[in-house]
Amino acid sequence: MNEENRDVKIDAGIADRNKQPASAGDSDRTKRLRLWVNWALAALTVLGAAAVMLFALGSVMSTAACSDKQCPNLGPRGISLDVLFYGPPVLAALTVVVTFFTARRRWGIVVPVVALALLGADIGILAATVAQ
């Protein structure tokens, strides 16, 4: 400090603001990020359902020349092919509807993550049962 600015005083509020934890701004930012991640994953289930349906259609079309004698172990046992084919769009629609209610919650990310896991299991079952 020199003789010119000896009467300058530092506002104590500025120094205290740097010491305070940023709770209000960070929590809003975290909530917004959580909301965007939940909705991005919910939208990804719609795209995943379309990919599963295309994969299932291709799998079924690849077996068009097979008969019971040529391909005796073709198709899933215990699970209907209708469930594997028509289930993904229903699952994606339910995920979007449920995400309206759970997106703002801390555990809301579970809904689209479980839906994506089910879509992955659907592709796995189709790949394992239709492959020759």
Q: Which of 101, 124, 126 is CA-nearest to residue 112?
A: 101
DSSP 57-70: HHHHHHTTT--TTT
* Higher-confidence position of 23 and 37: 37
DSSP state of 73: T
Q: 3-class SS at 21?
A: coil
pTM listed for this prediction: 0.71
pLDDT above 90: percentage of residues in the chain: 39
Q: For 18-22, 31-35, 58-62, 97-101, which range has the lowest pLDDT when averaged over its residues?
A: 18-22
In this structure, the number of other CB atoms found within 10 A of the CB of residue 27 comes to 10
CA 80 to chain centre: 26
pLDDT at 16: 53
pLDDT above 70 covers a percentage of the chain that reads: 72
**CB neighbours of residue 125 within 10 Å:** 16
